[in-house]
Amino acid sequence: MDGHRKTLTSAEQGLGRAPTLQQSSNLQALFKSGKYLFGVAMSYPSRHVAKTVAVTGADWCWIDAEHVAWSPALLVECIQIIIHESAGKMIPVVRVPTKTSYEYMAWCLDAGAGGIIVPHVETAEDMKGVIATCRFSPIGHRSFPPFTFIPGVTDTTPEGESLFSLANKHCVIIPQIESRLGIKNMEEILKMPEIDAFMIGAGDLQLDMGIPPTMRGNEPEFVAAMEKAKRMSKETDIPLLGVAFGPEMIKERLDYGYRILVCVIDLHALAFGIIKAIKDAKALAEEHVEKRLGHANGNALRE
């Protein structure tokens, strides 16, 4: 029965584990599995939040360093917390600050991140520096990380593989296309063999088109761009990655062909969780008062 499941079981989450937890997880394999992958977005630069998120059972964690001012040291530490606290079952993926934040890409991958999301990609040329940074030779020029691995302890690999060949097979590179120019050049970008998934930054794309950023819309230019992304994903077999909040939007995205989704943000979970708890408590209090008043009035009438 489990063989027909389209979501990962707890046991299958472990299939992405690297030979040691100091190495990057095999997110490429999970992307190619055909299974739906559901993630949580982490916006709070906090060790405590990382520890909490890591045990929630999400398949992957999107750490956002584009819109959140992470210090490099804390970012690296939280990547490692997520890997170790989840026993390698949750895979951290980092959206770096810019498409030329090469140092962040190196730091995050050296820390064990399973992939990099690259914002505001508009041309294939944009991706050349990214690929060079994120892939070891002979594909790219990623630098040997001398302070990450302990020889004979954390560098275990299957026979015939090295840390470098394994990292090239495990780590994913995800361009985020979010402008008219990026949509125009989508075919050229996706022809690059090192692209493992891609994302449409719907909000920024709508801003670029002069449309209110709702991440959903029926404006002809926006619809055409999304249809192009859907078609290119199918033609290239490169999965679309996106965000979807709530049952209705998740169903829309799944119907559209998305397999890799962020379905909750730590900020929203905290805020809306507190809002609901306070609202429910106040409603119960009002109900309690009404019952007491009713009881008191009933006693008064009987007297």
Domain residue spans in the chain? 2-274
Q: What is the pLDDT of residue 301?
A: 54
Q: What is the average pLDDT across 31-36?
A: 90
Determine contact, residues 15/29, Cβ cutoff 8 Å: yes
Q: What is the pLDDT of residue 59?
A: 96
CA distance 91 to 25: 7
Q: What is the pLDDT of residue 303?
A: 57
CA distance 273 to 221: 36
Burial 59-78 (b: 16+ CB within 10 A, else e): bbbbbbbbeeebeeeebbeb
In this predicted structure, the answer to whether residue 4 has a pLDDT above a threshold of 80 is no
Q: Please tell me which residue, 5 or 216, carries the higher pLDDT value.
A: 216
Q: What is the pLDDT of residue 215?
A: 80
**pLDDT tens sequence across 115-127:** 999 999 999 999 9
**pLDDT tens sequence across 118-152:** 999 999 999 999 999 999 999 999 999 988 888 98
Determine contact, residues 152/95, Cβ cutoff 8 Å: no
Distances (CA, A) of 283 to 269, 273, 279: 21, 15, 6
Q: DSSP label at 296?
A: H
In this predicted structure, the answer to whether residue 214 has a pLDDT above a threshold of 60 is yes
Q: What is the pLDDT of residue 1?
A: 36
SS3 state at 53:
helix
**pLDDT tens sequence across 65-117:** 999 999 999 999 999 999 999 999 999 999 999 999 999 999 999 999 999 99
At residue 163's C-alpha, the angle toward residues 157 and 166, to 5°, is 80
Instruction: Enter the pTM of the model.
Output: 0.91
At residue 293's C-alpha, the angle toward residues 290 and 297, to 5°, is 140
CA distance 240 to 72: 28
Q: What is the pLDDT of residue 74?
A: 98
Label residue 295 by pLDDT band (50, 70, 90): low
SS3 state at 171:
coil
Q: DSSP label at 67?
A: S
Helices first, then strands: H and E counts in the chain: 13, 8
Q: Please tell me which residue, 300 or 268, carries the higher pLDDT value.
A: 268
CA distance 207 to 252: 22
Assigned CATH topology for domain 2-274: TIM Barrel (3.20.20)
Q: What is the average pLDDT across 184-206?
A: 96
Q: What is the pLDDT of residue 11?
A: 81
In this predicted structure, the answer to whether residue 272 has a pLDDT above a threshold of 50 is yes
Q: Is 83 exposed, middle or buried (0-12, 13-18, 19+ CB in 10 A)?
A: buried
CA distance 25 to 66: 22
Q: What is the pLDDT of residue 2?
A: 45
Q: What is the pLDDT of residue 288?
A: 85
CA distance 270 to 7: 25
Q: What is the pLDDT of residue 217?
A: 83
Label residue 298 by pLDDT band (50, 70, 90): low
Q: What is the pLDDT of residue 13?
A: 83
In this predicted structure, the answer to whether residue 38 has a pLDDT above a threshold of 90 is yes
Residue 242's DSSP bridge partners are 261
Q: What is the pLDDT of residue 223?
A: 94
Mean pLDDT comparison of 66-70, 212-216, 250-254, highest-scoring range: 66-70
CA distance 237 to 42: 28
Q: Which two tokens stand for residue 190?
A: 């996706």
Burial 123-153 (b: 16+ CB within 10 A, else e): ebebbebbbbbbbbeeebebeeeeebbeeee
